Amino acid sequence: MAKCFTELRTMACSASHVALCPTMDLMAVVLKDGALAIHRTMTGEKIFPSPDSVEPPAASAATVLCWCLDGRVLAVGHEDGSLLLLDVETHDTRVATSEISPASMGYDSL
């Protein structure tokens, strides 16, 4: 039987959601406790949160992830309906709130 995939790296963590960046070697991970981390896929290097980045305090656990099509912005939905937009190149963040809790997200290329 032919092998279709080759395992490149194994990372031990308790992940509830994982999203791969469409343009860079980045992997966003929501851990079981709702915390967000971003790692390089090839090396496993953790790039967010880093010691020099400031992550806004999360009022509730992250529940859903979605990368922008250009791979520069990661949208993170939280249980309380807040939405974090993270620029992965500059680590700038914007937080928006809404009246609904996001169950799924997607970027459209309109």
Q: 45 in the Ramachandran plot: left (φ > 0), alpha (ψ -120 to 50) or beta? A: beta
Does residue 99 surpass a pLDDT of 60? no
Enumerate domains of the chain plus CATH numbers. Answer: 15-96 (2.40.10.480)
Mean pLDDT, the chain, whole residue set: 78
pLDDT in tens, 40-92: 988 888 888 865 554 555 568 888 899 999 999 999 888 888 888 899 888 78
Residue 43 per-residue DSSP state? T
Distance CA 29, CA 2 (A): 30
Q: How many residues does the chain have?
A: 110
pTM over the 0.85 mark:
no
Beta bridge partners of 74: 67, 86
pLDDT, tens only, 13-46:
678 889 999 999 999 998 888 888 899 988 888 8
